[in-house]
């Protein structure tokens, strides 16, 4: 049993099921970024930790074709954190907020035994990009290159070090591609649990399966924390999607099409 899916199912609300809750032109999302679960302070500087925490959360808003406006931060930090450490953490949050023209408007801080961060993002959209919407004529595609995040994580577990531009440390969000292409996309979501796992969510909500035109090895398909985009679109818009990907310098791979079959996820659950 997938405990995450079971727990979510206990909350009966129409607003759960996408990357963010969409209510009257606004989206609301929240993700956790906890020490020894998502990162270790030996792996990343405090500025890098804050930057990734913010980008992980922004990914949900962008996946919904929403422009981030405000962020609320909750930071549980060890008593031993110095002023210098706090300044570095704040710098990471503030730099990302500036890059996305967003304001940090409040939150909460508490003492803890380790560094745990949760962020709420409030964003605005006129046309939300939902996970539902696939049709019999749909093609499925993903952006970027998959597999590097899991590869870099394993390198860290083995005692290695990563370049500061490593995908595990410095996420590249696909906001330009999403905002330029959203009008002709049928559905979309960010790839946070791995392509094959997130396809399972897409299959459930659209009551469909997929015929793969490209094989996806497990080392690519099960790599979590990629924060690329998984999108579906009408095959008639294939050229337009590829053109917009080229215009935004976004690599895109069309790998499957809608099918009336049963999809089976080949990856283990990331959360439980």
Which residue is listed with tokens 């003492």?
111
Largest CA distance in the chain: 58
Same domain, 117 and 142: no
Query: pTM here?
Result: 0.93
Residue 211, domain member (yes or no): yes
Same domain, 251 and 200: yes
What residue ranges in the chain does DSSP mark as E strands?
21-23, 26-34, 67-78, 103-112, 116-124, 138-143, 187-191, 209-212, 228-234, 252-259
Among 124, 150, 169, which residue terminates a domain? 124
- Residue-level pLDDT, tens digit, the chain, 272 residues: 678 878 888 988 889 999 999 999 999 999 999 999 999 999 999 999 999 999 999 999 999 999 999 999 999 999 999 999 999 999 999 999 999 999 999 999 999 999 999 999 999 999 999 999 999 999 999 999 999 888 888 888 888 888 878 888 889 999 999 999 999 999 999 999 999 999 999 999 999 999 999 999 999 999 989 999 999 999 999 999 999 999 999 999 999 999 999 999 988 776 55
| CATH number of residue 160's parent domain | 3.90.650.10
Residue 7, domain member (yes or no): no
Q: Report DSSP letters for 84-149, one per residue.
A: HHHHHHHHHHHHHHHHTT-EEEEEEEEEESS-EEEEEEEEE-SS---S----TTEEEEEES--SHH
Residue 153, domain member (yes or no): yes
Sign, Cα dihedral of 256, 200, 165, 151 = negative
Same domain, 245 and 152: yes
Same domain, 119 and 232: no
Same domain, 250 and 143: yes
List the domain range (segments joined by +) for residue 243. Answer: 138-259
Looking at residue 8, its pLDDT comes to 84
Same domain, 92 and 201: no
Looking at residue 168, its pLDDT comes to 87
For residue 196, count CB atoms less than 10 angstroms from its CB and return exposed for 0-12, middle for 13-18, buried for 19 or more. Answer: buried
Residue 253, domain member (yes or no): yes
Neighbours of 83 (CB within 10 A): 7
Domains contained in the chain, number: 2
The continuous run of DSSP H or E covering 163 comes out as none
Same domain, 110 and 154: no
Residue 84, domain member (yes or no): yes
Residue 272, domain member (yes or no): no
| CATH number of residue 70's parent domain | 3.30.1330.10
Among 66, 90, 124, which residue terminates a domain? 124
Same domain, 176 and 105: no
pLDDT in tens, 180-204: 999 999 999 999 999 999 999 999 9
Same domain, 82 and 160: no
Among 97, 124, 151, which residue terminates a domain? 124
Residue 75, domain member (yes or no): yes
pLDDT in tens, 58-109: 999 999 999 999 999 999 999 999 999 999 999 999 999 999 999 999 999 9
Same domain, 158 and 246: yes
Residue 14, domain member (yes or no): no
Same domain, 68 and 96: yes
Same domain, 236 and 144: yes
Looking at residue 12, its pLDDT comes to 84
CB 95 within 8 Å of CB 63: no
């Amino acid at each position: 049993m997938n405990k995450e899916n079971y727990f979510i199912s206990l909350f009966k609300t129409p607003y759960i099921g996408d990357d963010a809750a969409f209510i009257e032109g606004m989206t609301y999302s929240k993700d956790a970024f906890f020490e020894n679960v998502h990162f270790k302070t030996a792996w990343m500087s405090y500025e890098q930790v804050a930057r990734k925490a913010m980008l992980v959360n922004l990914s949900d808003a962008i996946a919904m074709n929403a422009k981030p406006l405000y962020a609320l931060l909750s930071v549980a930090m060890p008593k031993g954190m110095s002023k210098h450490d706090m300044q570095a953490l704040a710098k990471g949050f503030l730099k990302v907020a500036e890059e996305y023209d967003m304001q940090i408007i409040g939150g909460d801080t508490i003492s803890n035994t380790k560094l745990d961060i949760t962020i709420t993002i409030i964003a605005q959209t006129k046309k939300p990009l939902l996970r539902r919407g696939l049709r019999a004529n749909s093609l499925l595609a993903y952006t970027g290159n998959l597999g590097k995040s899991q590869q870099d994580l394993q390198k860290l577990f083995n005692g290695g070090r990563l370049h500061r531009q490593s995908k595990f440390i410095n996420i590249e969000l696909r906001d330009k591609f999403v905002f330029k292409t959203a009008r002709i996309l049928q559905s979309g979501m960010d790839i946070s649990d791995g392509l094959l796992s997130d396809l399972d969510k897409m299959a459930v909500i659209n009551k469909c399966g997929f015929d793969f035109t490209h094989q996806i090895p497990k080392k690519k398909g099960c790599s979590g924390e990629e924060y690329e985009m998984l999108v579906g679109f009408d095959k008639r818009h294939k050229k337009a999607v590829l053109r917009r990907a080229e215009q935004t310098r976004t690599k895109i791979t069309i790998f499957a099409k809608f099918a009336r079959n049963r999809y089976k996820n080949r990856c283990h659950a990331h959360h439980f």
